[in-house]
Amino acid sequence: MADKKSTASTSKRAALRAQQEAQESAKKRRRIIGVIAGVLVAAAIVVSVVFGLNRKSDDAPTGSQITPPSATKDGIYTLNKDKVKDGAPTLTVFQDYQCPACKATEDLFGKSLNDLSAKGEIKLQYHTLTFLDNNLKNDSSTRAAMAAAAADVVGHYEAYHDVVYSHQPEEEGAGYTDEQLRKEFATEAGITGKDLTTFQKVYDSKRTQDFVENGNDKGLQELQKFGSAGTPTFLVNGKPWEGWQSFSAAPSADDLLAAIKKAD
């Protein structure tokens, strides 16, 4: 009986050891699986980071930077420069494509300004700022400015400029889509065929990015000289002009010209 009891006890201990060893093996397997999973997660994170960095680099300009033909390197466009008459006053407008007040002034003065510029009665200049990107937490001002610069490359700055403002979202900060900027607005501005291909290549490769960013910096520095950093701001022959605020309805080209000349 003693031998049988001893044998049974030994069998129980052996079974217990076997169970303990099996449990330990299971723990080891779980630890190994956990380590492997951790490595895979870490690898996935690394891949995501690398992919993110690559995507970020894809967002950088991919072509040589250019200055649009109608503009200076400081960001000032001059419309119809070959038509400006001797002695014509220079009207410089500082604006941001996301600025509601800028759209309001475009609605009020746009047609008359275009008429006066086309006739050479004024030297019409636009200086585009993009500071509202920071305020509105988007990049629509910059992208719109870059698109307008690309439009100037193919000779359609004025029309494109007007189209962007005509489609400014009612909700401030809603911004513009790439589809609008690179296709819809371009088509409406009369950019077609080879010009459209060129326009889109310039826009997609961000070849006007440095011009736009520098123009914004120079524009803000200029406005600070007058104690202002807001848009719209009007200058007549380099001096602030507040007279535009006296118009409550769209003036005729003649009335607007008279007011501009009076400011000088």
pLDDT band at 84 (very low <50, low <70, confident <90, very high): very high
CA 25 remoteness from chain centre: 58
Record the tokens describing residue 255, joined without a space.
Answer: 């009335």
Distance CA 91, CA 78 (A): 10
As a whole number of Å, the CA-based R_g of the chain is 33
∠ CA 135-139-143 to the nearest 5 degrees? 135
Q: Specify the CATH class of 76-263 in words.
A: alpha beta
**pLDDT number for residue 151:** 98
Is the per-residue pLDDT at 147 higher than 70? Answer: yes
Show Cβ contacts of residue 156 under 8 Å, excluding neighbours closer than 6 positions.
186, 189, 190, 191, 195, 199
Q: Specify the higher pLDDT residue, 59 or 196.
A: 196
pTM confidence score: 0.76
Mean pLDDT for the chain overall: 83
Domain boundary assignment for the chain: 1-59, 76-263
pLDDT number for residue 20:
52
Burial class (CB in 10 A: 0-12, 13-18, 19+), 14: exposed
Determine contact, residues 247/113, Cβ cutoff 8 Å: no
What are the tens digits of pLDDT across the range 95-126? 999 999 999 999 999 999 999 999 999 999 99
Quote the pLDDT of residue 226. Answer: 87
Taking residues 169-178, report their average pLDDT. 92
Percent of the chain with pLDDT over 70: 76
